[in-house]
Amino acid sequence: MDAIIWEGNRLRLLDQTKLPGTIEYIECNDYYTVAEAIKRLSVRGAPAIGAAAAYGLVVGAGQIQTEDPKVFLEKLESIAGELGATRPTAVNLRWALDRMMLRLSSAGEKSVQELRDILLEEAHAIYNEDVESNRRMGEYGQQLFPDEVRVLTHCNAGALATAGYGTALGVIRAAHERGKKVSVYADETRPLLQGARLTSWEMVQEGIPVTLITDNMAGYLMSQKMVDCVIVGADRITANGDVANKIGTYGVAVLAKYHQIPFYVAAPLSTIDMNLSSGEQIPIEERDAREVTHHAGQVVAPDGVKAWNPAFDVTPNGLVTAIITEKGVVQPPYTENLKKIFRDKKQE
Ligand code: MRU
């Protein structure tokens, strides 16, 4: 199931808020629809919102009515600003939009139509490179798994959260494809249930054994020696290896450390923000309190109660056993080794 489809010059986004019950695509005829889809989590997951925003910019470029390249670029910059402001934590969103704008600014003198064509080419490149990165990450990551392994994951870092294949779930898929006996525990991931609705759905479709647990079961699961390692995705990793990911990840990492279970993070370089030195600098999205006070449209808390709803937390680098990227597995010390991986990339 593709989260993002570009077909016949049209963008369609799978409405993940309706999964697993209903499969419905949102037709994006204007960029506001794309921005809205990102805000309401119809399309979600760091790499997926980056790719969706890139295509959103292509859609927006089609809405600009001018033949003057300068006016076109000014209007496009403002559309990129609107798309970039939809969600603050996942750096892939801003990364993809910056990459699109940079491609145009380095294109030289072009007509508006030529600029539109370049944008589409770049959006396709972002999309295709993401799938390719995930496959590479899968290959590197699966080497960390023994032949038989029980893995706990949090939220959804699968095909639905990316252009395809997935990051954390990509590693699980790769191990399964190579004949390893992998079974998965999926945290349901309150408040929006990405684990229950999306991760367990992807695993069931793939025929990978999966057991759903509520978030508060992870500690007991580990104490019963029922899990061998944890693997999660990331929304932003800072230069020192601190990891922002779905709320609850930090708790799982603390539990893993206590129980001496490896805690792996799988993420492409587009998720690593070398401009931030540590996790405290990551903007953490706070979402509507109704996501906590309500469940599936039903109220589950008394009227007038206050609720706090940070969508992400930060796991300090000391709890992270290794970061799996498309360029290889990065081990601590992260400040040194992340720098090195970017240096090597530049030299390619
Ligand atoms: O709020 P969401 O559903 O967009 O949060 C997604 C996550 O936290 C994922 O784990 C992360 O983006 C990595 S996706 C490959």
Give the ipTM: 0.99
Given a contact cutoff of 8 angstroms between Cβ atoms, the answer to whether 246 and 196 are in contact is no
Q: Is 299 left (phi over 0), alpha (psi -120 to 50) or beta?
A: beta
**CA pair distance 137, 67, nearest whole angstrom:** 42
pLDDT in tens, the chain (348 residues): 899 999 999 999 999 999 999 999 999 999 999 999 999 999 999 999 999 999 999 999 999 999 999 999 999 999 999 999 999 999 999 999 999 999 999 998 999 999 999 999 999 999 999 999 999 999 999 999 999 999 999 999 999 999 999 999 999 999 999 999 999 999 999 999 999 999 999 999 999 999 999 999 999 999 999 999 999 999 999 999 999 999 999 999 999 999 999 999 999 999 999 999 999 999 999 999 999 999 988 999 999 999 999 999 999 999 999 999 999 999 999 999 999 999 988 888
The conformation of residue 316, written as its DSSP 8-state character, comes to: -
Among the options 15, 187, 215, 235, which is catalytic? Answer: 235
**How far is ligand 1, taken at its centre, from the CA of residue 158, in Å?**
9
Please spell the DSSP secondary structure of 229-298, one letter per residue.
Answer: EEEE--SEEETT--EEEETTHHHHHHHHHHTT--EEEE--GGGEETT-SSGGGSPPPB--THHHHEETTE
Nearest alpha carbon, ligand 1 atom 6:
45
**How far is ligand 1, taken at its centre, from the CA of residue 313, in Å?**
11
Residue in the block written with tokens 């525990």: 185
User: Which atom of ligand 1 has the smallest separation from the CA of 49?
Assistant: 4
Return the exposure string of 130-168: e unless at least 16 CB atoms fall within 10 Å of the residue's CB, then b: bbebbbbbbbbbbebbeeebbbbbbbbbbbbbbbbbbbb
**How far is ligand 1, taken at its centre, from the CA of residue 67, in Å?**
39
pTM over 0.90: yes
User: Do strands 322-325 and 263-266 pair parallel, antiparallel, or not at all (unpaired)?
Assistant: parallel
Residue 221, classed as helix, strand or coil, is helix
Structure tokens at 309: 């709803």
Q: What is the identity of the amino acid at 155?
A: C
